Structure 1
Amino acid sequence: MQRIEHRACFGGWQNVYEHASATLGCTMRFAIYLPPQAADGPVPVLYWLSGLTCNEQNFITKAGAQRYAAEHGIAIVCPDTSPRGDGVADAEGYDLGKGAGFYVNATQAPWAAHYRMHDYVVVELPALIEANFPVTASRSISGHSMGGHGALVLALRNPGRYRSVSAFSPIVAPSKVPWGERALTAYLGEDRESWKAWDACELVKQASDKLPLLVDQGGDDEFLDGQLRPQLLQAAAVAAGHPLQLRMRPGYDHSYYFIASFIGEHVAHHAAALRSGAAAES
């Protein structure tokens, strides 16, 4: 593991590291913000999953989350959105291949050789973080768009792994929208039954752990009706009795201006859950 960026930020440090990933079979980068409290002892971690075309840089340079992480004493880890490198499969267009891993474990060639972002984010990356940085094993997860899909799915698929989950503008039903249909067909094959394991609307139907879902959605999001369709998650959650707070934000679009406007509320939400989890453990 090699540190390639090290910047002072709100009393803490914004770092970027590069490492060889055994899960993905390539070199990966991740960003980690360590708040000033980390100098005195381990802090809990919020994992942030970014959206299509993004990498580890978008959130740390645009969201302004470090300020709130420093106030609440939590670290933030931002992985890349897909495997990278010359030997990694890619495709035409922004919504498949590099920058578009969809946080699934691919089963189809040529994607299966590298595209195992679920296992990377859930298993390999936290093990690396917890072994090398002053953090605890208390984790929360959040994300935007494709990353919002990832946050919801990873939390629902792994009960007990995360203290809390939230999302901005998530793709809640990838089985029913063009972005998701293209990605799931490529990564998982034509059998739509196998897609259900990666669809938040399907997962809430059988979730044994009723972890509350917090979703913020811009009312003027250009992808609202065609790709995001939060009403489908709302209907599924109501039918399953799964707690969901869906907050429609009039006037806001799909951009990081939207995320920056409400990221403080999300960090506070996760910090409260992480504190209560730590208190329960003690």
Structure 2
Amino acid sequence: MSLKRIEQHYAFDGEQCKYSHYSEVLQCDMTFSIYLPSNKEKKKIPLIWWLSGLTCTDDNFSQKSGFQRLAEKYQVAVIIPDTSPRGENVTDDKAWDLGQGAGFYLNAVQDPWAKHYKMYTYVTDELTGIASTLVHNFSGKESIMGHSMGGHGALVIGMKNAARFKSISAFAPILSPSQVPWGIKAFSSYLGEDKASWKEWDASELVKGTDIPPILITQGTQDMFYPEQLEETTFLENARENNQEVNYKKIEGYDHSYFFIATFLEDHFDFHMKHLK
């Protein structure tokens, strides 16, 4: 394995690390970040995945949210993948909402994207294997959360792997990508024009499934992308019709920023830890 630690910072007695490695799945060099709590009592610790949004890297959450205080408080490891494959040889687009920085956590099947854009398999398989070597005394229990495009990713990955993840949460997620501009653009490019194939990557379709983990969603009313990109009606109707456990909170005055995430992040950690014990 080509794993190399390129940053290490102590934070709240734990370690915030950044690694680089060559991804066989994505066929390019990748970075990711991980927080390892102090675990002074040598107990089994769970793992939470954080998936970031459009234009982000693994640095946004680690540097802006202040999550390390909570991860140390609850003694949980947190892993943060990048949002897409990267590099000069990786297909890109001039627009900020497609290509590098906009992987949408799916497996592309259309050229020229198919060679590199397989973020779903990268997260659920390759990076999962790496994480298991880094989290000492891992309990085997996992939850997943994310923001915006990453909220879409957390919901899709969490629901497609319902036996694996104990809970799912999201801040301002793209809930119905097949119906909104961001999702239509990405799905058309990565998956092609057959909209039937889009259902596999649409949270509003996947929520019709069975044995889905409990879900928490927080959305600000002053979000510049709400409701155009983040409309919730279809998702919540499908969840209700299929008796899914979804707590959707709409908070007055908050926007799409990391100020919003930092404000309500403890609510999400509390939610996940109830299911990770």
TM interval, short-chain normalised: over 0.9
Name the TM-score, length of structure 2 as normaliser: 0.97
How many residues are aligned here? Answer: 274
Q: Return the letter of the residue paired with 1:188.
A: L
1:100 pairs with one of 102, 108, 113: 102
1:141 pairs with one of 131, 144, 147: 144
Cα RMSD (Å): 1.1
Q: Tell me, yes or no, if the aligned pair for 2:217 and 2:249 is still in contact at 8 Å.
A: yes
User: How many angstroms does 1:210 deviate by?
Assistant: 2.9
Distance in 1 of aligned mates of 2:215 and 2:98: 27
1:10-29 to structure 2, matched below 5 A, reads 10-29=12-31
1:183-194 to structure 2, matched below 5 A, reads 183-194=186-197
2:179 pairs with one of 176, 181, 202: 176
Q: Tell me, yes or no, if the aligned pair for 1:23 and 1:120 is still in contact at 8 Å.
A: yes
> Where do 5+ consecutive residues of structure 2 fail to align?
none
Q: Return the letter of the residue paired with 2:103.
A: G
Q: Return the letter of the residue paired with 2:9.
A: R
> Where do 5+ consecutive residues of structure 1 fail to align?
276-282
Q: Return the letter of the residue paired with 1:181.
A: I
Q: Return the letter of the residue paired with 1:193.
A: A
Instruction: Return the structure number with greater helix share.
Output: 1
Distance in 2 of aligned mates of 1:38 and 1:151: 30
Q: Secondary structure at the match of 1:257?
A: helix
Q: Tell me, yes or no, if the aligned pair for 1:38 and 1:73 is still in contact at 8 Å.
A: no
Cα gap change, 1:38/1:177 in structure 2, threshold over 3 Å: closer, same or farther?
farther
Distance in 1 of aligned mates of 2:135 and 2:261: 27
User: How many angstroms does 1:132 deviate by?
Assistant: 3.2
Q: Tell me, yes or no, if the aligned pair for 2:162 and 2:211 is still in contact at 8 Å.
A: yes
Instruction: Deviation per CA, 1:143-178: give whole Å up to 9, x if none.
Output: 000000000000111121111100000000000000
Distance in 1 of aligned mates of 2:84 and 2:41: 31
Distance in 1 of aligned mates of 2:64 and 2:236: 29
1:229-268 to structure 2, matched below 5 A, reads 229-268=231-270
Instruction: Deviation per CA, 1:88-114: give whole Å up to 9, x if none.
Output: 100111100000000000000011001
2:205 pairs with one of 202, 206, 218: 202
Q: Tell me, yes or no, if the aligned pair for 2:9 and 2:15 is still in contact at 8 Å.
A: yes
User: How many angstroms does 1:40 deviate by?
Assistant: 2.4
1:112 pairs with one of 114, 120, 145: 114
State the identity %: 47
Q: Return the letter of the residue paired with 1:234.
A: L
Distance in 1 of aligned mates of 2:263 and 2:78: 18
User: How many angstroms does 1:133 deviate by?
Assistant: 3.0
Distance in 1 of aligned mates of 2:94 and 2:134: 37
Which residue in 1 is equivalent to 2:226?
A: 224
2:162 pairs with one of 159, 163, 173: 159
4+ residue runs over 6 A deviation = none
Which residue in 1 is equivalent to 2:64?
A: 62
Q: Tell me, yes or no, if the aligned pair for 1:68 and 1:268 is still in contact at 8 Å.
A: no
Distance in 1 of aligned mates of 2:149 and 2:131: 23
Q: Tell me, yes or no, if the aligned pair for 2:166 and 2:214 is still in contact at 8 Å.
A: no
Q: Tell me, yes or no, if the aligned pair for 1:219 and 1:248 is still in contact at 8 Å.
A: yes
Q: Tell me, yes or no, if the aligned pair for 2:77 and 2:135 is still in contact at 8 Å.
A: no
Instruction: Deviation per CA, 1:32-53: give whole Å up to 9, x if none.
Output: 0011117725421000000000
Q: Secondary structure at the match of 1:227?
A: coil
Instruction: Deviation per CA, 1:235-261: give whole Å up to 9, x if none.
Output: 111122111100001000000000000
Distance in 1 of aligned mates of 2:74 and 2:43: 14
Cα gap change, 1:125/1:39 in structure 2, threshold over 3 Å: closer, same or farther?
farther
